């Protein structure tokens, strides 16, 4: 057997032996502990530099000795991932580079405690382990399952291709060494070249895609915008009881208590909605999204941190709080969509000061001690009571609002019956189209893509499906 025929096999063995070692060196040294599985794509360019580190005992990481704790050492930080056995290890990732470290500190993923339903695959993929964890970051919810599936499938196909190329190289090398004719040797050489070309294409595609965008080979999963309910504060039980005493007797009931009896409240919503011919699912959706079923809910519209509230914009432009204390007028004159100052307006609305009138109100005062230069929302349906300007109150002696033929004071709206009756008599609910009802209740300018509308319509749809 000519020795020269063994040279390609020796070179091939060296290449195949070096490849896995070089790939291993690309990962951070976890010592004797495995890398985190599941969704670790959120660590960006350091997706492979994750380690499952023990919560007890001692361990070695990248050549340094550490005493275990429920935290990550040095310049490592906790991230989303799967360690087995669960509960004994913490998933840690290498600190992000300087150019992204600041953004990571301000928008670090928050793991959500809810659990996803893990799909059962008809054809299992080796190495695929779904994690039930999902997390919220920068106003979006990241669901990892699809990303985990695509990543595992891609790695599986890559592995099959590498194995096929290796088998073809070995077989072609065998034919090359033991070929008895020139034609057989030539055919073996061709197969070796073809296998090497295939190997280069497979590895080259992976390297190119990884450098262009790591998410192409390790996708992070689905990104879904988080729908948040309108914020509100809950009046303490003692103050709430005092406020309810000032309401009209016909609105008082056993439902007026903190914490609330949600079953009784939703049962009354259903009964009254049917009596008044209002869609039950829309009525329940309004209560759930506006107040979370809390009759003691109060909202100050000048403190609603969004450009969706014009009163928030006007308050920040005014530069004066209820106490008379001033603050810098930073809100630009034009905050409309398309304005060059739109982003600045959004930032100021979110981070700017809030008013200093009583957060929960003072039930001993007929106007609650609130700053009535701005409107406020009350009760289960978060019914808006307008400002004292322009004769907005149907009862001049106290903050109030007329809905239908009834005049509701802010005390009445804090009772369960008063709030539900006021809500169900809202003109927007006098119809049969659930879209227009939900849109009308939260405002005509709030439709698809507007969080209060989207959340109401989702609850409405879920209600219909039951």
- Residue 285: its H or E element: helix 280-290
- pLDDT confidence of residue 99: 36
- What are φ and ψ of residue 332, in 5° steps? -60, 160
- pLDDT confidence of residue 72: 74
Q: How far apart are CA 106 and CA 216, in angstroms?
A: 26
Burial tier of 348 (Cβ tally within 10 Å: 0-12, 13-18, 19+): buried
Which pairing describes strands 376-378 and 297-300: parallel, antiparallel, or unpaired?
antiparallel
Q: How far apart are CA 50 and CA 28, in angstroms?
A: 7
CB 170 within 8 A of CB 5: no
- pLDDT confidence of residue 46: 42
Q: How far apart are CA 116 and CA 415, in angstroms?
A: 37
Angle between helix 280-290 and helix 451-465 axes, rounded to 10 deg: 130
Q: How far apart are CA 118 and CA 125, in angstroms?
A: 14
Q: How many CB atoms lie within 10 A of CB 155?
A: 17
- pLDDT confidence of residue 3: 47
* pLDDT of the chain, 466 residues: tens digit per residue: 444 544 454 444 444 444 444 333 333 456 556 677 654 433 333 444 677 878 777 777 666 677 776 567 766 767 666 676 666 777 777 654 433 334 333 334 444 444 556 777 888 888 777 765 666 555 566 677 777 888 888 888 888 888 888 888 888 888 888 877 888 888 888 988 888 898 888 888 888 988 888 777 777 667 765 545 456 889 999 999 999 999 999 999 999 999 999 999 999 999 999 999 988 888 888 898 888 899 999 999 999 888 878 899 999 999 999 999 998 877 888 988 888 998 888 889 888 899 999 988 898 999 999 999 999 999 999 999 999 876 789 998 899 999 989 999 999 999 999 999 999 998 888 776 766 666 666 654 554 555 555 666 666 666 765 5
Q: How far apart are CA 426 and CA 401, in angstroms?
A: 11
Q: For residue 230, what are its two tokens?
A: 């309108």
Identify which of 272, 292, 288, 289 has the alpha carbon closest to the alpha carbon of residue 280. Answer: 272
Identify which of 383, 445, 453, 461 has the alpha carbon closest to the alpha carbon of residue 419. Answer: 383
R_g (Cα) of the chain, nearest Å: 32
Q: How far apart are CA 130 and CA 153, in angstroms?
A: 12
- Residue 21: its H or E element: helix 6-25
3-state secondary structure of 31: coil
Question: Distance of CA 437 to CAs 281, 285, 345, 426, 447, Å?
Answer: 11, 11, 30, 10, 11
Q: In the 8-state DSSP scheme, what is residue 261?
A: -
For 397, residues 6+ apart whose C-beta sits below 8 A from its C-beta are 366
Q: How many CB atoms lie within 10 A of CB 453?
A: 21
- pLDDT confidence of residue 60: 72
Q: For residue 24, what are its two tokens?
A: 């291993």
Q: How far apart are CA 329 and CA 319, in angstroms?
A: 5
Q: In the 8-state DSSP scheme, what is residue 117?
A: P
Q: For residue 286, what are its two tokens?
A: 């309004």
Q: In the 8-state DSSP scheme, what is residue 38?
A: S
DSSP annotation string for 413-464: HTSHHHHHHHHHT-GGGSSS-HHHHHHHHH-TT--TT-HHHHHHHHHHHHHH
Which pairing describes strands 222-225 and 140-143: parallel, antiparallel, or unpaired?
antiparallel
CA dihedral 26, 31, 34, 39 (to 10 degrees): -50
- Residue 67: its H or E element: strand 64-67
Give me the residues paired with residue 376 across strands: 300, 385
Q: How many CB atoms lie within 10 A of CB 270?
A: 14
């Amino acid at each position: 057997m000519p020795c020269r025929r063994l040279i390609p096999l020796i070179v091939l063995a060296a290449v195949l032996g070096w490849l896995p070692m070089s790939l291993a060196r690309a990962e951070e040294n976890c010592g004797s502990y495995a890398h985190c599985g599941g969704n670790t794509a959120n660590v960006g360019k350091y997706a492979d530099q994750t380690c499952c580190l023990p919560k007890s005992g001692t361990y070695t990481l990248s050549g340094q000795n550490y005493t275990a704790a429920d935290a990550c050492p040095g310049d490592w930080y906790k991230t989303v991932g799967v360690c087995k056995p669960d509960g004994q290890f913490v998933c840690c990732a290498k600190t992000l580079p300087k150019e992204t470290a600041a953004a990571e500190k301000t928008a670090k993923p928050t793991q959500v405690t809810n659990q996803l339903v893990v799909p059962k695959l008809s054809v299992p993929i080796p190495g695929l382990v779904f994690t039930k964890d999902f997390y919220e970051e920068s106003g979006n919810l990241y669901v990892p399952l699809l990303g985990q599936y695509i990543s595992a499938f891609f790695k599986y196909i890559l592995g099959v291709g590498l194995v096929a190329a290796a088998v073809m190289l070995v077989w072609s090398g065998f034919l090359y060494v033991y070929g008895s004719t020139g034609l057989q040797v030539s055919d073996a050489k061709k197969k070796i070249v073809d296998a090497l070309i295939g190997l280069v294409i497979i590895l080259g595609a992976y390297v190119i895609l990884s450098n262009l965008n790591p998410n192409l080979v390790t996708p992070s999963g689905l990104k879904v915008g988080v729908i948040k309910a309108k914020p509100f504060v809950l009046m303490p039980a003692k103050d709430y009881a005092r406020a309810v005493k000032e309401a009209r007797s016909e609105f008082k009931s056993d439902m007026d208590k903190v914490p609330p009896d949600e079953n009784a409240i939703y049962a009354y919503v259903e009964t009254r909605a049917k009596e008044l011919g209002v869609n039950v699912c829309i009525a329940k959706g309004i209560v759930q999204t506006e107040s979370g079923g809390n009759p003691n809910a109060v909202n100050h519209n000048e403190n609603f941190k969004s450009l969706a509230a014009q009163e928030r914009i006007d308050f920040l432009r005014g530069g004066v709080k209820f106490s008379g204390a001033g603050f810098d007028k930073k809100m630009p004159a034009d905050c409309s969509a398309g304005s060059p100052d739109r982003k600045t307006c959004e930032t100021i609305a979110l981070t700017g000061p809030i008013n200093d009138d009583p957060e929960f109100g003072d039930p001993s005062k007929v106007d609650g001690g609130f700053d009535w230069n701005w409107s406020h929302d009350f009760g289960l349906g978060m019914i808006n009571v307008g400002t004292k300007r322009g004769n907005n109150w149907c009862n001049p002696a106290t903050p109030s609002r007329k809905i239908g033929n009834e005049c509701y004071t802010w005390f009445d709206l804090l009772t369960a019956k008063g709030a539900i009756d006021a809500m169900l008599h809202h003109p927007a609910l006098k119809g049969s189209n659930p879209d227009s009802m939900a849109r009308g209740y939260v405002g005509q300018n709030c439709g698809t893509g507007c969080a209060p509308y989207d959340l109401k319509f989702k609850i409405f749809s879920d209600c219909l499906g039951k």
